[in-house]
Amino acid sequence: MKIFKFGGASVKDAESVRNVSMVLKSQGFAKCLLVISAMGKTTNELEKVVELYFKKDNYQTEIEKIKRKHIEIADGLFPENHAVFAEINLFFDDIDSFLRRNKSPNYNFVYDQVVSCGEMISTKIVSEYLNEIQFINQWLDARDYVKTDNSYREGVVDWVKTEEFISHLNKEICYVTQGFIGSDENNFTVTLGREGSDYSAAIFAYCLNADAMTIWKDVPGVMTGDPRKFKDVRLLSNISYEEAIEMAYYGASIIHPKTLQPLQQKNIPFYVKSFVDPTKEGTKVGASDKNQSEESYILKENQTLLKISTRDFSFIAEDHMSLIFGYLSKYKIKVSLMQNSAISLALCLEDKFNTIDELNEELQKIFRTEIVKNVSLFTVRNAKMDHIDQFYQEKSVLLEQISKNTLQMVTQ
């Protein structure tokens, strides 16, 4: 089987959905599974619904606005009175009904039950449209196949159960399913982390022993830098799994960090291609003698720099490190860069769950801390060390780290 993943930008309106069918026509619509994200900025809009709900504000108006947008997209794809309109209404009724009867104060639990609906609605629209134009497919509820623990908003996949369920799919037909979501043992929805649809595609690819996996983007492939942030970037036509994993870890937004490992384990080739021009080759990630190691630039924004030191000027010892990383795990804060000296530890952190202040408060009971918010982590992979001076120009550098071929700096 082939696995195709289409992100929100590729299904943002009726014209985009029609373009997906053209991409599929160019690739051959047979023995494939499509993983599809929520349409356009729907995830952001549903996040706003959850925020309003917890503020006890008027979230119903926001739900109605999102619903109208999806109805308009369907109007551009289907004849009047098509069954898909009733399906769309039902999904939005379910969101409202859940919020009305919900008793849980757990923000992350409520978030997952509401925000996941974006993928459910988009896949229903795309699946119905493809069937309408005789691209025959079966719609799947990913929650019946991707099984996780109950770490809401950051679900950990139960690979044994997931592989057991997915392996029973008929590999001779085509499917449309959701990215980003799974379910726990109580069948509550659990999301796999923001931008987790790429990871979903890799899960299905791994469990189905797919021939290849392709992610369709609005860029030509993996570039040496984000063209919106860096000048004179080039397409990387071939890179290794290892290089892609490093780039994802350092913050390259085009690849989800968890995507590569399951693909590498079974040596499944991974392509990043453009849905604007599907005939172009794009980037191939995998084992190849053509793999490139070119200087690449990654900017990871909205980071927090946290400096920790002991109150009595004693060493930062192993027991201190264990305690600090225990707190980081507790508050679900990810480390992007770390540097330690005898009496201090500097951490560049990603605070996806807005818990940095709680972490800092906890640490201050034991340590001295200094915190700087809204910093950026700039990384140069395969850096040419003979001209690194250029990277320091016009930057206020708070922390830097240089390894054999990687330069990193935290800037303000």
Other beta carbons within 10 angstroms of residue 360's beta carbon come to 18
Other beta carbons within 10 angstroms of residue 104's beta carbon come to 10
CATH for 166:
3.40.1160.10
Q: Are residues 210 and 300 in the same domain?
A: no
Q: Are residues 193 and 69 in the same domain?
A: yes
Predicted local confidence at residue 153, as pLDDT: 95
Q: What is the crossing angle of helices 107-115 and 83-101, to 10°? A: 170
Whether 224 is in a domain gets the answer: no
Closest CA to 122 of 187, 68, 176: 176
**Does an H or E element contain 103, and which?**
none
Predicted local confidence at residue 168, as pLDDT: 95
Q: Are residues 303 and 158 in the same domain?
A: no
Note the Cα 297 to chain centre separation in Å: 20
Whether 110 is in a domain gets the answer: yes
Nearest-Å Rg of the Cα atoms of the chain is 23
Question: Diameter of the chain by CA atoms?
Answer: 74
Predicted local confidence at residue 181, as pLDDT: 97
Last residue of a domain, one of 151, 182, 217: 217
Binding residues for substrate: 43, 119
Last residue of a domain, one of 192, 217, 242: 217
β-bridge pairing 181-183 and 212-217:
unpaired
CATH for 301:
3.30.2130.10
Other beta carbons within 10 angstroms of residue 90's beta carbon come to 11
Question: What is the mean pLDDT of each successive set of 10 residues along the chain, which is 412 residues long?
Answer: 96 97 94 97 97 96 98 97 96 97 97 98 98 97 98 96 97 97 97 90 97 94 90 92 87 81 94 94 88 89 95 88 95 93 93 95 95 95 80 85 89 90
Q: Is there a contact between 409 and 321 (Cβ–Cβ < 8 Å)? A: no
Predicted local confidence at residue 289, as pLDDT: 79
Q: Provide the token pair at 141.
A: 């509820």
Other beta carbons within 10 angstroms of residue 277's beta carbon come to 11
Q: Are residues 186 and 308 in the same domain?
A: no
Binding residues for ATP: 5-8, 228
Last residue of a domain, one of 183, 217, 251: 217
Report the alpha-carbon distance of residue 175 to residue 172 in Å, rounded.
10
Closest CA to 333 of 350, 319, 314: 350
Other beta carbons within 10 angstroms of residue 313's beta carbon come to 10
Binding residues: 5-8, 43, 119, 228
Domain that holds residue 212: 2-217
Q: Are residues 93 and 211 in the same domain?
A: yes
What is the count of structural domains for the chain?
2
Report the alpha-carbon distance of residue 9 to residue 254 in Å, rounded.
13
Q: Provide the token pair at 257.
A: 């960090």
Residue type for position 134 = Q
Instruction: Kindly give, in sequence order, each residue whose CB lies less than 8 Å from that of residue 106, ignoring residues fewer than 6 positions away.
Output: 152
Q: Is there a contact between 153 and 353 (Cβ–Cβ < 8 Å)? A: yes
Report the alpha-carbon distance of residue 303 to residue 374 in Å, rounded.
5
Q: Provide the token pair at 127.
A: 């699946």
What 3-state DSSP class applies to 274?
A: strand
Whether 377 is in a domain gets the answer: yes
DSSP 208-261: TT-SEEEEEESSSS-BSS-TTT-SS--B--EE-HHHHHHHHHHT-TTS-TTSHH
Predicted local confidence at residue 389, as pLDDT: 76
